[in-house]
Structure 1
Amino acid sequence: MQKIYYLYHVRYEDTDDEDFRIIGIYSSRKQAKLAIERMKKKPGFIDFPNGFQIIASVLNRAEWLEGFVTC
């Protein structure tokens, strides 16, 4: 079972809108955290340093097992 780590950033403003960016996919949580340290000093991210999130996933395994949902 090989894990990967998605690093993304979500910026919430005073509205219901969100600004979502995938930063990268890393081989370890440590590498993802190092990327956060590099990225949080960049324009835009410096103003929203708490928007970074890391999600662990397993390669070759479906994450979404339900059908397509509409509202």
Structure 2
Amino acid sequence: MSDRVFLLWHVHHVATDSSGAVRHFDPGGEFRADEEEGDDVKMLGVYSSRENAMARIERAKELPGFRDEPECFYIGEYTLDEDQWTTGFTAV
């Protein structure tokens, strides 16, 4: 069994930059979503390989909503049993 998993996300982007363009990536090239500004984030599944996640994207692109925003998928790769949030937080 692999120690890697691939989480597949789709974001219906509402947040825009100062020119009114949808912001899919931040200036550093990282995929972005801003739920506080109205972006709708959906996890489509957790897959054992990038190939399986890509196959799911192709199936999802045939569905209402997803087919209207085919560039808004993101695959995050994670190691099982590895902490992701290693610092505390402050509520505002």
TM-score, L = length of structure 1: 0.90
How far does residue 14 in structure 1 lie from its aligned partner after superposition?
Answer: 5.7
Question: What is the CA RMSD across the aligned residues, in angstroms?
Answer: 1.5
Query: Partners of 2:75 and 2:58 in 1: how far apart?
Result: 13
Query: Partners of 1:52 and 1:69 in 2: how far apart?
Result: 29
2:57 is matched with which residue: 36, 39, 42?
Answer: 36
Q: Secondary structure at the match of 2:71?
A: helix
Q: Gapped runs of 5+ residues in structure 2?
A: 17-36
Q: Whose strand proportion is higher, 1 or 2?
A: 1
| Residue identity matched to 1:54 | I
Cross-structure match for 2:25: none
Aligned residues: 71
Cross-structure match for 1:2: 3
| Residue identity matched to 1:11 | H
Query: Partners of 1:11 and 1:62 in 2: how far apart?
Result: 27
- Superposed CA offset, 1:18-55 (max 9, x none): 01100000000000000000001101101111110000
Q: Secondary structure at the match of 1:49?
A: coil
Identical columns (%): 37
* Pair 1:14–1:6, CA change in 2 (3 A): closer
* Pair 1:4–1:14, CA change in 2 (3 A): closer
How far does residue 17 in structure 1 lie from its aligned partner after superposition?
Answer: 1.1
Q: Whose helix proportion is higher, 1 or 2?
A: 1
TM-score, L = length of structure 2: 0.71
How far does residue 9 in structure 1 lie from its aligned partner after superposition?
Answer: 0.3
